[in-house]
Amino acid sequence: DTEVTQTPKHLVMGMTNKKSLKCEQHMGHRAMYWYKQKAKKPPELMFVYSYEKLSINESVPSRFSPECPNSSLLNLHLHALQPEDSALYLCASSQDAKDAYEQYFGPGTRLTVT
Amino acid sequence: DQQVKQNSPSLSVQEGRISILNCDYTNSMFDYFLWYKKYPAEGPTFLISISSIKDKNEDGRFTVFLNKSAKHLSLHIVPSQPGDSAVYFCARRGSTLGRLYFGRGTQLTVWP
């Protein structure tokens, strides 16, 4: 199994809603990542988890809250988002954060904030 | 700080011909570069990578060349196929744990 899965595929939420994005991998990878991608732009790193501990937070606003319940799962909790947060949110994983360079991406969640 | 630059936003190539996608980098403190392909509504897919100890890495139709003196790498696809039509991102590994720096991408269109 070389797949990273993400749910939901699409999400529309209001600015007062609370929602969560989910990511799962069963490749035994110990590093997991959240990226945000706007149209015609490269993916921008948001968070890195290494061995279930948060190792990088790219100064992401607190309305985005990551969680890594175990080595296979990664969540992104969303609350009080703004319309400019509308984007494709990508999850990725790699064998580890230190020595493995190839990251494997999920299909993404297309988020629209109204 | 754009660590990698893809100066061509688009490239159009006829099927069967060679596609050459280019990427320049600005920082010499590197050791690893990667190429990803992205179809619409999908996540990026890892294609091929190259370490700074090599000048070339080949995998089937895909070859990546690294020119360290020019701080330039390129991805060659030969022969190009319509299914190769996608956005191609080059990326370099950052010094911080787990970080990848992506270029802005090049849209490749392969026409029959």
Q: In this prediction, what percent of chain A has a pLDDT beyond 70? A: 96
Extract the tokens encoding A30.
Answer: 């110990």
Confidence of residue A100 (pLDDT cuts 50, 70, 90): low
pLDDT at B94: 78
Q: Residue A40, Cβ neighbours under 10 Å: how many? A: 10
Which residues of chain B register pLDDT less than 50?
none
**What b/e readout covers B3-26, taking b as 16+ CB neighbours within 10 angstroms?**
bbebeeeebebeeeeebbbbbbbe
Q: Residue B28, Cβ neighbours under 10 Å: how many? A: 8
> CA of B46 to nearest chain A CA: how many angstroms apart?
7
Cβ contact, residue pair B43, A4, below 8 Å: yes
Best A3, A4, A49, A102 member to test B by mutation, with max B CBs in 10 Å, is A102
Across chain A, what does the average pLDDT equal? 92
pLDDT at A98: 75
Chain B positions touching chain A (beta carbons under 8 Å): 32, 34, 36, 41-46, 49, 89, 93, 96-100, 102-105
A42-92 pLDDT, tens digit each: 899 999 999 999 998 989 999 999 999 999 999 999 999 999 999 999 999
Q: What's the rounded Cα separation, in Å, for the pair A33 and A97? A: 10
pLDDT over threshold 80, residue A34 = yes
- With CA atoms as reference, the chain A residue closest to B90 would be A42
Q: Residue A90, Cβ neighbours under 10 Å: how many? A: 28
Cβ contact, residue pair A90, B44, below 8 Å: yes
pLDDT at B27: 73
A92–B contact, CB cutoff 8 A: yes
Cβ contact, residue pair A106, B41, below 8 Å: no
pLDDT at A89: 97
Cβ contact, residue pair A56, B98, below 8 Å: yes
Residue range A2-21: average pLDDT?
A: 93
pLDDT at B28: 67
Best B46, B87, B106 member to test A by mutation, with max A CBs in 10 Å, is B46
Contact residues on chain B for A107, CB-CB shorter than 8 A: 41-43
Contact residues on chain A for B43, CB-CB shorter than 8 A: 4, 6, 90-92, 105-108
Residue range A14-40: average pLDDT?
A: 93
Confidence of residue A2 (pLDDT cuts 50, 70, 90): low
